[in-house]
């Protein structure tokens, strides 16, 4: 799922703003750029978005099942993931699509309640385990490596009833789940992602109402979620590191969503606001893991504590890590998994005073953001095409966190459907070009993952926004998958290991390269 970086866009007239020249130029588009030796390409999906079979073969209810069944029209088109792409039954076609594209790997997520229907390890669902075994084995048959996400937003409803990420016992429950899947699949899975997009889980699902479970407890539940989620991530990392790494010889990390916050002007106030926006938006999750000191960012702790005191709270709404917990979380990722889609401008002046709900993390930050109307847009209101932001973000990660290995685990563009998707092609080319610029600056980017392999259930937007390289016909019971023009272009990028702006695909037939 995409990072809703501009879920709330403040369109403000600020007078002159600093424009950034896009790294991609017309001259560049006449060249062919090569990707580094050993660079890997893949695509991604997530369990609830594609699998369907929501109550089949012993699977139990998760928070998205619960939301879409109890409040169906909270979803834009009143849809759900009950059938979705029917990947539970059509996994062989999914692998065939991976073969058509020539992918090095495929990133997918596991459904907690398909494997552990009681949410706990007292019962392992054999049918669910068989499904994932079949998918993994089918991929490996064709030398396509699995990259597996343990948690992509589908909390068991039973655990949500117990508080979900706000219950500190979730650290144990999640750790038990992680150990189970390492035991079940770790002999073949060599790349693990513990969590997908903590910000969307906590800020949107616990602080706001734009993701399940839609708690809407701003400035409290989202911060509690952040601490417990980071501890649970660390628990999974340590379990893998201590019990499985030596025999399974894999890697494990976390995926964080981030856009780039560009100062709206050269003023010191806007520069500080942009840095703080990054720390509140994604640094709250990255800093405890990737910084040398660990812990939540100091400015975050200071601002939330000060606001909490003003508001009459007896202690900060941001839970503290103990010194032992700081060390437990620090360094617990073999790579920086990055989901990136868009960027924008950040500012701070009197116009933002008092406009945010209080308490809330937005109010704690006290900064505004906006995008430019003239920027190319997608079918998603929040997703503007800003490739220079991708470049700057990658350089920032390099500079701030001692140049960790970066896996781009999602990047993509939405349309309203149709096989001719030149906007998506343009987006991929511009963002890959910006990524190559960052690599040339020394950024250690090793993996690129297109979101997504095929159209899927896009959470609160249902099936109204399409991100797939393959179009899915949801009117057809067979859920027919058809390659878009972008699929042919991406296939050529993967095949040639090069970015060639002049390439024009023959879209008559998508074939499998037997040499893969």
In this structure, are residues 336 and 286 in contact, taking their beta carbons and an 8 Å threshold? Answer: yes
In this structure, are residues 397 and 439 in contact, taking their beta carbons and an 8 Å threshold? Answer: no
3-state SS class at 201 = helix
How many CA atoms lie less than 13 Å away from 13 in the CB half-sphere? Answer: 0
| Helix (H), strand (E) at residue 248 | helix 245-248
Check if 327 is active-site.
no
Catalytic residue among 100, 275, 276, 410: 410
Check if 410 is active-site.
yes
In this structure, are residues 95 and 139 in contact, taking their beta carbons and an 8 Å threshold? Answer: yes
Rg of the Cα trace of the chain? Answer: 22
Catalytic residue among 51, 61, 197, 471: 197
3-state SS class at 183 = helix
In this structure, are residues 295 and 279 in contact, taking their beta carbons and an 8 Å threshold? Answer: no
Nearest in space to 252 (alpha carbons), one of 201, 199, 189, 206? 189
d(CA 320, CA 277): 20
d(CA 401, CA 411): 21
Residue 344: what are its φ and ψ, rounded to 5°?
-170, -175
Structure tokens at 183: 């035991």
In this structure, are residues 67 and 214 in contact, taking their beta carbons and an 8 Å threshold? Answer: yes
In this structure, are residues 318 and 305 in contact, taking their beta carbons and an 8 Å threshold? Answer: yes
Residues recognised as catalytic? 197, 410
């Amino acid at each position: 799922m995409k990072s809703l970086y501009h879920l709330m866009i403040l369109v403000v007239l600020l007078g002159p703003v600093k424009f950034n020249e896009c790294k991609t130029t017309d001259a560049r588009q006449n060249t062919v750029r090569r990707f580094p030796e050993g660079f890997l390409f893949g695509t991604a999906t997530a369990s609830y978005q594609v699998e369907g079979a929501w109550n089949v073969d012993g699977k139990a209810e998760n928070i998205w099942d619960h939301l879409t069944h109890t409040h169906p029209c909270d979803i834009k088109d009143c849809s759900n993931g009950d059938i979705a792409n029917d990947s539970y039954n059509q996994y062989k076609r999914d692998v065939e699509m991976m073969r058509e594209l020539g992918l090095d790997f495929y990133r997918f997520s596991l459904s907690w309640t398909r494997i552990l229907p009681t949410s706990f390890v007292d019962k392992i669902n054999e049918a669910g385990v068989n499904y994932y075994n079949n998918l993994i084995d089918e991929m490996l048959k064709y030398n396509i490596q699995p990259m597996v996400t343990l948690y992509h937003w589908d909390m068991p409803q039973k655990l949500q009833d117990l508080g979900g990420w706000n219950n500190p016992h979730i650290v144990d429950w999640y750790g038990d789940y992680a150990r189970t899947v390492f035991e079940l699949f770790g002999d073949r899975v060599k790349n693990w992602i513990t969590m997908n997009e903590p910000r969307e889980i906590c800020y949107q699902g616990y602080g706001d109402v734009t993701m399940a479970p839609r708690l809407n407890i701003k400035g409290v539940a989202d911060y509690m979620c952040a601490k417990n989620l980071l501890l649970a991530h660390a628990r999974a990392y340590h379990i893998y590191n201590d019990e499985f790494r030596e025999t399974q010889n894999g890697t494990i990390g976390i995926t964080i969503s981030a856009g780039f916050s560009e100062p709206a002007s050269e003023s010191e106030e806007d520069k500080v606001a942009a840095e703080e926006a990054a720390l509140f938006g994604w640094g709250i999750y990255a800093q405890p893991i990737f910084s040398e000191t660990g812990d939540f960012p100091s400015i975050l702790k200071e601002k939330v504590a000060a606001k909490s005191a003003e508001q009459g709270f007896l202690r900060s709404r941001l839970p503290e890590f103990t010194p032992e917990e700081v060390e437990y979380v620090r360094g617990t990722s073999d790579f920086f998994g990055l989901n990136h889609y868009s960027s924008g401008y950040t500012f701070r002046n009197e116009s933002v005073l008092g406009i945010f709900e209080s308490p809330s993390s937005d109010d704690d930050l006290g900064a505004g953001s906006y995008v430019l109307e003239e920027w190319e847009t997608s079918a998603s209101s929040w997703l503007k095409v800003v490739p220079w932001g991708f470049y700057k973000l990658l350089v920032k990660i390099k500079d701030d966190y001692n140049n960790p290995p970066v896996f781009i685990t999602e990047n993509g563009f939405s349309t309203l459907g149709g096989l001719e998707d030149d906007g998506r092609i343009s987006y991929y080319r511009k963002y890959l070009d910006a990524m190559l610029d960052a690599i040339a600056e020394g950024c250690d980017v090793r993996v690129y993952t297109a979101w997504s392999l095929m159209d899927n259930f896009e959470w609160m937007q249902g099936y109204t926004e399409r991100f797939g390289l393959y179009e899915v016909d949801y009117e057809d019971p067979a859920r027919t998958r058809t390659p878009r023009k972008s699929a042919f272009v991406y296939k050529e990028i993967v095949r040639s290991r090069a970015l060639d702006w002049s390439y024009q695909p023959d879209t008559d037939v998508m074939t499998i390269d037997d040499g893969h």
